[in-house]
Amino acid sequence: MGSQVFRMVTLIASLGLAGVQAPVIWAAEGAAPEGGIEEGTGFSMFGTESIKGFDANKIEKDPVCDRSKRPKVHRVEPDEAAPGQKVVIKGENFGAKECFHGVAFSATGGAPVQYTLVSDTTIEVVVPEARAGMSFIDVVAGGGNARSKGFLIKSK
C-alpha cells in the first residue's frame, strides 16, 4: 500500500507541475483541513444526515409508473353533456391511481374536475361548471397527456 500512496502523491505532484489542478484527497478520516474535500463523505460534511439503509416494506409498496406508455383517449360517452352530468372516458394506458395525475376541461381553465379512475382504460368524470360550447378533455397520466376529440358542454 505504501508504494501505491507514493505513486499517487507523485502523480498529483506531476499534475501540479503541468499546470493541472488536481483534487485534494485525504487518506485518513478527519484529516481534511477546513474547506478541503474529503472523498466519499457525501452530505455528512455539511451537517445533513446521511441515508441509512432502507425500508423493504416501503419499497415494495412504492408504485412503478411506466412512463413509456402514453395514454390515449378513444372516446367520451356521451359526447355532449351539461355541467353536473357524468361522462365516461374510454381509452388506454391511464395507469394506476398512484401514477394518475388528473383530468381537465379546456373550457374551464385550471378549475378542479371531479373524476374517478375506474381502471387503466376507464375514467368517470363529472362535467364541471363551464359556459356552453366546445371543449377538449385532457387526461394526464404517468406516461404523458392525451386529449379527446371535441366535447360539447351543453347549457344547464
For the chain, give the mean pLDDT.
77
- Provide CB contacts within 8 A for 124, sequence distance 6+: 86, 87, 88, 89, 115, 116, 118
Task: Determine, yes or no, domain membership for 145.
Answer: yes
C-alpha cell at 98: 398512484
CATH number of the domain to which 83 belongs: 2.60.40.10
Looking at residue 155, its pLDDT comes to 93
What residue type is 36 in one-letter code? Answer: G
CB atoms inside a 10 Å sphere around CB 119:
8
Q: Indicate if 47 and 77 belong to the same structural domain.
A: no
Task: Determine, yes or no, domain membership for 64.
Answer: no
Q: Each residue of 96-144: pLDDT tens digit?
A: 888 899 999 999 988 899 999 999 999 999 999 999 999 999 999 989 9
Q: Indicate if 45 and 83 belong to the same structural domain.
A: no
Q: Indicate if 94 and 28 belong to the same structural domain.
A: no
Q: Indicate if 109 and 147 belong to the same structural domain.
A: yes
Q: Indicate if 78 and 127 belong to the same structural domain.
A: yes
Report the domain count for the chain.
2
Q: How confident is the model at residue 49 (pLDDT cuts 50, 70, 90)?
A: low
Q: Which residue has the higher pLDDT, 107 or 1?
A: 107
Q: Indicate if 47 and 95 belong to the same structural domain.
A: no
Looking at residue 78, its pLDDT comes to 97
Task: Determine, yes or no, domain membership for 134.
Answer: yes
Which helix (H) or strand (E) segment is 142 a member of? none
Long-range contacts of 49-54 (CB under 8 A, 24+ apart): none
Q: Each residue of 22-42: pLDDT tens digit?
A: 555 544 445 545 555 555 555
How many whole angstroms separate alpha carbon 70 and alpha carbon 146?
8
Looking at residue 1, its pLDDT comes to 52
Q: Indicate if 79 and 147 belong to the same structural domain.
A: yes
141: Cα separation from own chain's centroid: 11
Q: Across-strand partners of 90? A: 75, 122
The parent domain of residue 112 ranges over 72-153
Which helix (H) or strand (E) segment is 15 a member of? helix 2-17
Task: Determine, yes or no, domain membership for 66.
Answer: no
